[in-house]
Amino acid sequence: MSAGDDAATGAVGWLARVYVTPKAGILDPQGKAVQQSLHALGYPEVLDLRLGKYLELTLADVSRESAETRVREMCQRLLANGVIEDFRFELGEA
């Protein structure tokens, strides 16, 4: 199916914006290294820095409820390590 087909059928895909961050209390050596580098560059006001991941997923035309369920499953099964990471996502029309 092409983009033209989507427009002709009125089908709407979804854009999921996924944010994965270290859980509170989990050491974040990459974040600490970036924070120290910012201090070295003259930005001492940075008190803490947590480094995470940002992902964008474009989903085919499914219901909003189905898209939310599927993205949550993807995060739980692969995109975030539930032991050390938290995730949240936003879902909008693609």
* pLDDT of the chain, 94 residues: tens digit per residue: 444 444 444 567 999 999 999 999 999 999 999 999 999 999 999 999 999 999 999 999 899 999 999 999 999 999 999 999 999 999 999 9
How far apart (Å, rounded) are the C-alpha atoms in residues 19 and 21?
7
* pLDDT at 4 (0 to 100): 47
* pLDDT at 87 (0 to 100): 98
Helix or strand holding residue 87 (H, E) = strand 85-93
Per the structure, the count of domains in the chain is: 1
Phi, psi (rounded to 5 degrees) for 20: -115, 125
Query: Which value, to the nearest 10 degrees, does the dihedral of the CA atoms of residues 84, 90, 91, 94 take?
Result: -110
- In-domain check, residue 1: no
Domain of residue 30: give its range: 12-93
* pLDDT at 85 (0 to 100): 97
Bridge partners of 58? 15
- In-domain check, residue 6: no
pTM, to two decimals: 0.81
Residues 6+ apart with CB under 8 A from 50: 21, 22, 28, 31
